[in-house]
Chain A
């Protein structure tokens, strides 16, 4: 039998994770968890803090002096790659809503993820908004059910964060990469 180092419960050999406390009991499973924590750890205060039962700290909110002026005077087009569906599209304009078409309120977002299984990925109808500010694009979570992550950091709802391009954004469970198209 092998013993879980966290809760001392016993398991048959070959077991990967402890079903009592959820800790890894196999060296490969431990390496996997450590790698996924480390990958998130240097970016995300959430994962790093989770083991100490601290309240999750949101990423620092957007303030103008933190941003670096971009050379674009006009809003450049955003190229959007929906990673899980291997799809690409280009958005042009100064404001895009991200979400799912709501047939009951006639809400149609500019970036409609209905066809990318948005529902299954946990994307809210009015999930988030991207706006063009003088300094560049900003991303704002609209109090979505499952949250928005920018480069691994959970966004505080209702606040604007500079959307660096290229940037990895997760709307609920839907992974999207933004780059400047032109």
Chain B
């Protein structure tokens, strides 16, 4: 999707302090150009939009208020709102805000990694799944640097330390004899993992966190990677407490669900306190590439522990918060502040917020501040902020706002994601006709996006709901994570 900041002054080709005459002249020049050469519709649309805003003093003032930057911050925060004015109504109004964060300078932090792998070894992992995990870990050992720390814990209804935490380069010569012995032959250690027993994720998490915890935590990028293929039994609450403690100690969590039989809502909740990601691994063959991608992301961090302050006025209720880029992840809208995770890699982070604005019976002006706190690469606490101004006025109609294209596109993807979540909830609670009808609608919507694989799956699920009253767990995971990945690639 188009995450570029739309500086409408640049689009029209005028300076930020241009007077009304210059703006008129610039638009006249564009109009003349349009007569003699063909201008792309999209470009023309943007030019016209830029002119409409800049030639209207109240709208220009609101736009200017959006582009005032917080100076001295190493992150740039761009803000797009679905409207500049709220109509006077006796019902609530829906407002969307799209926040885009990108590093101002291409400075990456090169801290060594401190990774704790927590691997499910319950009975269902037997065979290919565990073999591929072991093979993937061996390949990853070659990719890590000598300074990087790694540990590996396996768990079923209890946990064992397979590889104690140690720096890769010196692990085999560790002063601790048990550590040295394990690292002298990691291959044998990995092969010794036996699949049996149930899945108690708490056991694995606790043992994994004990390995990742280090006195020199600040010198490392500390991260726990959980890989499971099952539901945890009776300890979900304890797991979430542990995840919150981990986040407080600066330890991030990534959760991978393998196959179809795991609890996606639980894994999303588990990664929420640290602003981490949860992923679906469809086939054991994909384990290595998923883990490898994750380590590459952790290796290039521009800013860490981003959090969004809840600084908006009381008339604005946050209904939903979603990270759309670099990867889709639902955010916990009721935490304060809202954890956004680290800014990794080269792609910007995009966050979509949905607000319910309380009914506005009389004209008013609002200031809507957005503040993202984070730790910069030099360790300093910094803030990136943008403030929007909104008016509530009788001149505002309920649908004469012109949301930016990037925001419309973001809301479209979010809506698709919510529809498949709703269909699943309806199927779970026995409202099968509604679920099947929604799934048929989704088939059409996926077709519109051009993703035939998701469209076919939705069609199959709609048929299955109508005939047998269930959705397949595989289809459920494929639609959910397939829709999440739709939001990433740019097709426009």
Contact = CB atoms under 8 A, between A and B. Distances in A.
Interface of A: 1-2, 7, 11-22, 26-29, 32-33, 35-37, 40, 44, 46-47, 50-51, 53, 56, 83-85, 100, 103-104, 114, 117, 119-122, 145-147, 149, 154, 170, 172-175
A22 B414 CA distance: 10
A29 B407 CA distance: 10
B293 interface: yes
15 contacts: A1-B91, A12-B92, A13-B94, A14-B86, A29-B411, A33-B412, A33-B448, A44-B450, A46-B447, A114-B289, A120-B326, A121-B488, A145-B453, A154-B452, A173-B486
B166 to A, nearest CB: 24
Contacts of B415: 16-19, 22
Contact of A16 (B96, B286, B438, B442): B96
B381 interface: no
Interface in B393-423: 398-399, 401-403, 405, 408-409, 411-412, 415-416, 418-419, 422
Contacts of B26: none
Interface residues of B, number: 60
B37 interface: no
A68 B96 CA distance: 50
Contacts of A1: 91
A85 to B, nearest CB: 8
B285 interface: yes
A44 B452 CA distance: 13
Nearest to A105: B285
Nearest to B95: A14
A172 B371 CA distance: 36
Contacts of B28: none
B489 A173 contact: yes
B441 A2 contact: no
B440 to A, nearest CB: 9
Pick from A12, A13, A121 the residue with the most CB of B within 10 Å.
Answer: A13
B408 A147 contact: no
A174 B87 contact: no
A14 B94 contact: yes
5 A-B pairs closest in CB distance: A173-B489, A50-B447, A14-B94, A13-B398, A17-B415
A17 B412 contact: yes
Contact of A27 (B87, B399, B491): B399
B491 A19 contact: no
Pick from B289, B412, B450 the residue with the most CB of A within 10 Å.
Answer: B450
A46 B450 contact: yes
A61 B26 CA distance: 48
Given A29-B411, A174-B489, A119 B91 contact: no
A28 B422 CA distance: 25
A14 B398 contact: yes
Given A22-B415, A146-B453, 10 more contacts: A7-B441, A16-B408, A16-B411, A22-B445, A26-B399, A27-B399, A46-B452, A47-B447, A100-B289, A119-B293
A47 B448 contact: yes
Contacts of A51: 444, 448
B87 A32 contact: no
Contacts of A35: 41
A19 B401 CA distance: 20
B94 A15 contact: yes
A12 to B, nearest CB: 5
A120 B327 contact: yes
B93 interface: yes
B398 A120 contact: no
Contact of B448 (A26, A37, A146, A147): A37
A108 B261 CA distance: 32
